Amino acid sequence: MIGGLKGKIEILEPGRIILWTRDIGYLLYHPINLTLKEDEERKFYVYTYVKEDALNLYAFITKGQLRLFQTLIQVSGIGPKLALAVLETSSVDKIKQAIQEGDVSFFTRVPGIGKKGGQKIILELSSVLKLDIKEEKKYNPQLLQALKNLGYKFGEVKPILEELELDYNLPLDHSLRLVLRQLAKKTK
C-alpha cells in the first residue's frame, strides 16, 4: 500500500500526473484545482484504491484533503471519482462547513451528485465529522488509516478500540493484528 510519494512531475494532464520517483513513474489522479507544474519536485499524500479490476493512486497536497477524500468514499454511492469532484469544488474547510450546515445545494453543484446524493452525504457524514475531530485524536492515525483501507468504518472499529485500550505507541502491525482478531471474533 502506498501512503505517500515524493518525486518529479514528468507529465501533467488535467486530473492526473505521472510522478517520477526512483526510476518508477506513478500515475496519480488528483483534484484538478491543485496548482502543479511539470518538472516540479513535489510530495503527495496518496490513497491507494484497490478494486478487483483496478489499482488507482489518488494524490493530495494536504493531509486534510486525503482525510476528507477517505471520509467521502465511505458514503455508499460515492466512489473515488465523485469524491475527487467534491474536492475540486472548494476547500476542505468549506466542504466540511457545508456538511455541518446541511447545505444540500453545495453538493448538487458537483456533477454526478443530485439532491438525494447531497442529502446522503450530509446525513452520513455530519455525525462522522464531529466524531472524527474528537475521537481520532485518541487513536493512532496510522492504525485508523490501515483499518479504513481494509474497508472498516470508524463506527465499526471504535467499540473494539475502546475495549482494547491500545497504547498509542504500540507498533502498528501489532495493534492492527489485535484489532483484526477482535473483529474476527465478533463476526463469528
Across all residues in the chain, what is the average pLDDT? 83
Q: Is residue 68 within 8 Å of residue 96, measured between CB atoms?
A: yes
Which pLDDT belongs to residue 6? 92
Residue carrying C-alpha cell 483484526: 180
What is the mean predicted confidence (pLDDT) over 19-47? Answer: 87
- 93 HSE (CA, 13 A, CB side): 0
Inter-CA distances, 58 with 22, 37, 84, 178, 187, Å: 19, 17, 9, 29, 31
Answer yes or no: is pLDDT of 137 > 60.
Answer: no
Q: Indicate the pLDDT class of residue 54, thresholds 50, 70 and 90.
A: confident
Interval 68-101: pLDDT, tens: 898 888 888 888 999 999 998 888 888 888 888 8
Q: What is the pTM of this model?
A: 0.65
- Pick the closest to residue 133 from 35, 187, 67, 43 (CA basis): 67
- Residue 162, classed as helix, strand or coil, is helix
